[in-house]
Amino acid sequence: MTIIACTVDETCGYGEDVMPEPVADQVVDWTEYQPIVEQCAKRTSWKYKQYVEVEDVQQAAWLYYFENRRAMDALPRDTYGNAFVKRRIQSACNAYALKEMCAKTGVQWEDQYRYSMGEIRFLIQLHYAGGLRGGENADIITGYVDVGTALASASEQDQEILWKAYGPDRTEVNQLSSTERGRNHRATRRIQAILNGETA
């Protein structure tokens, strides 16, 4: 039996026919979320076009957002294009599509959160910036601890280039030499691989 790992946290639920209404005194920032939902749903529906329609994927993404609204709105808006927000929405879209595919093919489905490169970059920079300041949500705290553990096991060469790229006196990526950019990408990818249980 095939096992498919899906990138979505365990709080995500599906199967409802009606999308929850937002709380009356809370206004959704449609200008921020609508483009992200549309982009992620389009990407997922194209990848799983045999199993889902884009409108259904969008509804699943909005359902996930409203069920996890407080956590979603608390996610950091960073210099890497809101990596955490996009990752969560994309994960919700993929989870819905995978569940639909599994229901139609009989493949077993299981949850497994995986860090994106954008999240890894943000968390390494946060780690080198001196740590948490208090008030961060559980996702950030967990990611911070995970990245700190992974960095401690990184090679001296990887730590050197990561510090140069993400440390307090970091050099902007476009100012790194081509060799340094390659080293930085590979080192960052190795940190991601450690956290996701992969082979870099």
Q: What is the pLDDT of residue 103?
A: 83
Confidence (pLDDT) at 42 = 94
Look at residue 167 in the predicted model and tell me its pLDDT. 85
Nearest to 194 by CA among 151, 150, 134: 150
Model pLDDT, residue 120: 92
Neighbour count for residue 22 (Cβ, 10 Å): 13
The b-or-e profile of 175-197 (16+ CB within 10 A means b, else e) is ebeeeeeebbeebbebbbebbbe
Domains of the chain from N-terminus onward: 3-111 (no CATH), 117-196 (1.10.10)
Tens of each residue's pLDDT in the chain, 200 residues: 333 333 433 333 333 333 334 443 445 677 788 999 999 999 989 988 888 999 999 999 999 898 888 878 877 766 555 777 887 888 788 888 878 887 887 766 555 567 889 889 989 988 888 766 666 666 777 788 888 888 888 898 999 999 999 888 877 777 889 999 999 999 999 999 888 777 55
